[in-house]
Amino acid sequence: MVTTIPQSPNTPIQSVLIVGNYCHDVLLQGGAVVAETLGGAASFISNVLTGLSVSFHLTSKVGVDFKYPVNHDPIVIPTSKTTVFHAYFDQGYSENAHQDRVLKRVEVCDPINPSDLPDRKFDFGMAVGVGGEILPETLERMVEICDAVFVDIQALIRAFDENGTVKLVRLKESGFYHLLPRLKFLKASSDEALFMEVEEVRLWCCVVVTHGKDGCEVYWKDGEMKIAPFGANQIDPTGAGDSFLGGFVGGLVHGLVVPDAALVGNFFGSLTVAHIGLPKFDLRLLQRIKEEVQTRKVQGTCWLERRDDEVSFSKPAGHDEFHASLSSSKLVSAECRRDLSRSPGSVEQVNRPQYKGQQKFLLNSVYDKSN
């Protein structure tokens, strides 16, 4: 049984295990490289959890060529290279003004084995591989050491042909299907959800399907609900789904019920698309969000302690007001940034990517289908 201890908004909470490799991402258009950046879902999720003052253990593998400074050191494999993805974007647009892409894995680091995981217990585990690094036996070990395991479906259904091109396989054919009854949440984009039978999977674990600008839907055994989105000035959608998952789990860690935590997920997804690359969140905004979450928290109880689906999943009183409060915080932060940009001699820049040396350029509002 998890005991909830009252926390101040800035007190780190050590309760989360993130499992997934860092990557090098290379974006190409018209045969030319237009961006190189730190990749991997783990980078976006850790960024959000840090912003929410949730401390965590991250298990990630890279090669000796890994070139980005990070706050949580990965396991360096001397005989391997860091996983590298090339994303090829064509010049055509879909009816939604989003570009299509072909994603290729051109280098692959070692998989994460059960023995690589820490020998301790966690409240929450997050399996967020992007390059096939999560093995069935590793996920099984996560289930053993974590009270609640959250999985991004891309960690389970991505496959790679002889050229490294990313393909998706049906969840039943992934080798992970037998573990579904032992998971708590499975997150998928609307595109990825086509590769599973939601009506069947929801009988085993909760399913969260993200719909970009339209928010998300939560499915569980006895019901479903839509969670409202937040407006965003979309610049680069890369990592929005990862940031959603980080915000969702961060909300649950702080004691929110599922619908309110999903709002926090939608909120961080909307923040991410307004940045180029890995976002550096405005510190004043983060402080306001943590205060809103702390105020909203159901005092004296924790999501992990609840056993009644109706208590955990039903929208509580004040849910819409919580959405309005988060939206208001976002608007106030935007106004502050505009005022700051007008101030003579101002040197603070709040939208610059977090990692020094990282370059990421606007690519005509590229749509990341993995999120």
In a domain, 3, yes or no: no
In a domain, 307, yes or no: no
Q: pLDDT tens track of the chain, all 371 residues?
A: 233 334 454 555 458 999 999 999 888 888 899 888 899 999 999 999 999 999 999 999 999 999 999 999 999 999 999 999 998 876 333 333 334 578 899 999 999 999 999 999 999 999 999 999 999 999 999 999 999 999 999 999 999 999 999 999 999 999 999 999 999 999 999 999 999 999 999 999 999 999 999 999 999 998 999 999 999 887 777 789 999 999 999 999 999 999 999 999 999 999 988 886 788 899 999 999 999 999 998 543 455 555 445 446 788 889 999 999 999 988 776 655 555 455 554 433 333 333 333 444 333 333 334 44
Cα 272 from Cα 267, distance rounded (Å): 9
Cα 277 from Cα 255, distance rounded (Å): 29
Q: What are phi and psi of 366, to 5 degrees?
A: -60, 135
Residues 116-150, buried b or exposed e (16+ Cβ, 10 A)? bbeeeebbbbbbbbbbbbbbeebbebbbebbebbb
Q: How many distinct structural domains can be found in the chain?
A: 1
Residues carrying an active site annotation: 242
Beta-strand relationship, 122-127 and 166-168: unpaired
In a domain, 308, yes or no: no
Cβ 95 vs Cβ 102: under 8 Å:
no
Q: Which domain holds residue 111?
A: 20-301+319-333
Cβ 294 vs Cβ 7: under 8 Å:
yes
Residue with tokens 């005989």: 79
Cα 22 from Cα 358, distance rounded (Å): 14
In a domain, 14, yes or no: no
Give the predicted TM-score (pTM) of the model. Answer: 0.83
CATH number, position 146: 3.40.1190.20
Cβ 171 vs Cβ 153: under 8 Å:
yes
In a domain, 355, yes or no: no
In a domain, 280, yes or no: yes
Sign (positive or negative) of CA dihedral 331, 336, 338, 339: positive
